[in-house]
Structure 1
Amino acid sequence: MNWIEICVHTSQEATEAVSYILQDLGGDGVSIEDPEVLHREWDNWYGEIIELSPDDYPQEGVRVKAYLSSLACPDADAFVAQVKQRLEDLRSAGFDVGPAAVTTQEVNESAWADEWKKYYKPIRVTDRIVIKPHWETHEPASADERVIELDPGMAFGTGTHPTTVLSIRLLEKYLQPQQRVIDVGCGSGVLSIVAGKLGAGPVLALDLDPVAVEKAQENIAINGLSAQVTAKEGDLLKGVADTAEVVVANILAEIILKFVHDLPRVLVPGGVFIASGIIEEKRELVEEALTMMGLEVMETIHQDGWVAIAAKKW
């Protein structure tokens, strides 16, 4: 299906009013391109957009865009005329509506769905690990570098969130070649792929979401690890008969607490549990639960208010 994009170049003052007009006239969702974000200080940046290009924003003012399906809006010219009249009404009421320029273009749905990809670039997570969107190119800096190719899709992260970075740092430190790994809540499969690239033996990637499992399988194949890493649906560690030297989970503390009782069963003696996705305020809760299960907390590392824990079963 194709969509019609209605774009209004207006002032910052009129942004909210113009957004309301577009939605009131039937626009299905509104996006705002404000160059102010290019200069903003992100004090608590937990997203994964790596690059914002000035070319995507107006030099002055704001662009407000709304989208209508071509079926719902057979007469784009009539819609534009309505928008222009409402803008003139705003001007008459004393609003500074800026240029008030209205333009339209037809957007193909498949092209639109891929538009987000241009913001993601290769990024070095550790000295050895680089995460690269599979549509980008990257030349390894050394023979020891491990390049993780990822197509996260619009529903999953690109592997550069602090919780993922912390998990990768601990995997690098504790995972030994040929050790078995279980990745609980695998998402796009990035940690399972990292484990495979670091030389792990069989890796089992589990997620309750079938969409996540499908995406993980695609990423595992992209990295040539289908024979080494298996992704399948699973509810945490319920019913898992496999044992492993390393279990990793990058999920919320509340979810980790739901399956800590399974860790002594799944981890072999000397095995390590790597837990991430934990906010600082929940760290002690997780550490206490692990200790109660007979695991020894060996290390905690921190980044941007997030914590990752390495605990060992003796």
Structure 2
Amino acid sequence: MKWSEICIHTTNEAIEPISNILHETGASGLVIEDPLDLEKERDTFFGEVYELDPEEYPEEGVYVKAYLPVNSFLGETVEEIKQAINNLIIYDIDIGKNDITLSEINEEEWATAWKKYYKPVKISEKITIIPTWEEYTPADSDEVIIEMDPGMAFGTGTHPTTVLSIQALENYLQEGDKVIDVGSGSGVLSIASVLLGATEAHAFDLDDVAVKSTKLNAKLNKLEHKITARQNNLLNHVDIKADVIVSNILAEIIVRFIGDAWNNLAEEGLFITSGIIQNKKQMVLDQMQEHGFEIIEVNEMEEWVSLIAKKAGN
């Protein structure tokens, strides 16, 4: 089978909504080429994990790439993707240059090329994430290993928003906590929660592919008995008293379920959010405080922001 690589030159802010658009149109093998990755000190905190070619990266913005089967519907699919991306402007999302190109790629390249971007990476004091195809020996006995199979739809959990989320979980989650993961994607935050001491994690995602991915990765890490994943629109009709709610999704979506997060948290429970671009930080802060949350910490990595908020007692 022949495949077409679609490459979208866009902004960091638009990565997640464009990724979602690509998933919904059946694209596979999502790859994000961000020039900031070339500047990271990989030989310190994160470890030296990437072999990147600067010539493959844009001078500014990012490339989001995915793969589409070459068939009679290809033209229609590409037009659908273009229209959906253009519509992001309505939601005040900066799509940058929005240059979209197509190139043909053979099946062997499609199946293996994207894997070069994913290597074992230490993302916090305790946690290292490894893709299933990589061999890895823990550096010490306290290291917590998460094994991930991103399939052809999700990353392995090394994006700054995921790193911020896991670092917050590591710092605040208590042994025996019950966790809700909203917008679970690959399930990495649910897995991290249980490995850090949560007794159970409830993972929700509107995308059925994400639900299947969460279940697969929970099983890979032998945690399927502690992680429940199901399809759901945010926290609609969810009635679970959790000690921690964690969500790594867009700021525009976070503000839509802050009230439901409050209702599903136990007293003194924590709401950990990430996926927030710098210019949307104040919007989320204002909405959280309006609902009664006490902001206890704000963390930043590159242009991304994570908020840790507490359901303050009456």
Same fold by TM-score greater than 0.5:
yes
**Secondary structure of the residue that 1:114 maps to in structure 2?**
helix
Q: Which residue of structure 1 lines up, in the alignment, with residue 167 of structure 2?
A: 169
Structure 1: 5+ residue stretches without partners? 5-36, 57-66, 70-105
Q: Which residue of structure 1 lines up, in the alignment, with residue 295 of structure 2?
A: 297
Contact 1:244 1:266 in 2 (8 A): yes
TM-score normalised per structure 1 = 0.68
Q: 1:277 aligns with which of 267, 275, 278?
A: 275
Contact 2:38 2:52 in 1 (8 A): no
Q: Which residue of structure 2 lines up, in the alignment, with residue 116 of structure 1?
A: 114
Query: Alpha-carbon deviation of 1:231?
Result: 1.0
Query: Alpha-carbon deviation of 1:50?
Result: 3.2
Q: How does 1:1-314 map to 2 (within 5 A)?
A: 1=1, 50-52=50-52, 107=106, 109=107, 112-313=110-311, 314=313
- Residue 187 of structure 1 aligns to which amino acid in structure 2? G
Query: Alpha-carbon deviation of 1:295?
Result: 0.9
Query: For residues 253-307 of structure 1, what are the alpha-carbon distances to aligned partners after superposition, in whole Å with 9 as ceiling and x for unaligned?
Result: 0000100011221000010000100011111111111111111000000010110
Query: Alpha-carbon deviation of 1:2?
Result: 6.4
| Distance in 2 (alpha carbons) for counterparts of 1:229 and 1:287 | 29
| Distance in 2 (alpha carbons) for counterparts of 1:51 and 1:256 | 34
Q: Summarize the Cα distance change of 1:118–1:277 in structure 2 as closer, same or farther, 3 Å threshold.
A: same
Q: Which residue of structure 2 lines up, in the alignment, with residue 13 of structure 1?
A: none
Contact 2:202 2:227 in 1 (8 A): yes
- Residue 306 of structure 2 aligns to which amino acid in structure 1? A
Contact 2:3 2:110 in 1 (8 A): no
Q: Summarize the Cα distance change of 1:240–1:306 in structure 2 as closer, same or farther, 3 Å threshold.
A: same
| Distance in 2 (alpha carbons) for counterparts of 1:210 and 1:265 | 25
CA RMSD of aligned residues (A): 3.3
Query: For residues 136-162 of structure 1, what are the alpha-carbon distances to aligned partners after superposition, in whole Å with 9 as ceiling and x for unaligned?
Result: 111111221111111112221221111
Query: For residues 9-54 of structure 1, what are the alpha-carbon distances to aligned partners after superposition, in whole Å with 9 as ceiling and x for unaligned?
Result: xxxxxxxxxxxxxxxxxxxxxxxxxxxx9xx776899xxx932369
| Distance in 1 (alpha carbons) for counterparts of 2:184 and 2:140 | 28
Q: Summarize the Cα distance change of 1:68–1:123 in structure 2 as closer, same or farther, 3 Å threshold.
A: closer
Runs of 4+ in structure 1 over 3 Å off: 1-4, 40-45, 109-112
- Residue 210 of structure 2 aligns to which amino acid in structure 1? A
Contact 1:51 1:120 in 2 (8 A): no
Contact 1:51 1:121 in 2 (8 A): no
Q: Which residue of structure 2 lines up, in the alignment, with residue 94 of structure 1?
A: none
| Distance in 2 (alpha carbons) for counterparts of 1:236 and 1:119 | 30
- Residue 126 of structure 2 aligns to which amino acid in structure 1? R
Q: Which residue of structure 2 lines up, in the alignment, with residue 83 of structure 1?
A: none
The structure with the larger Rg is 1
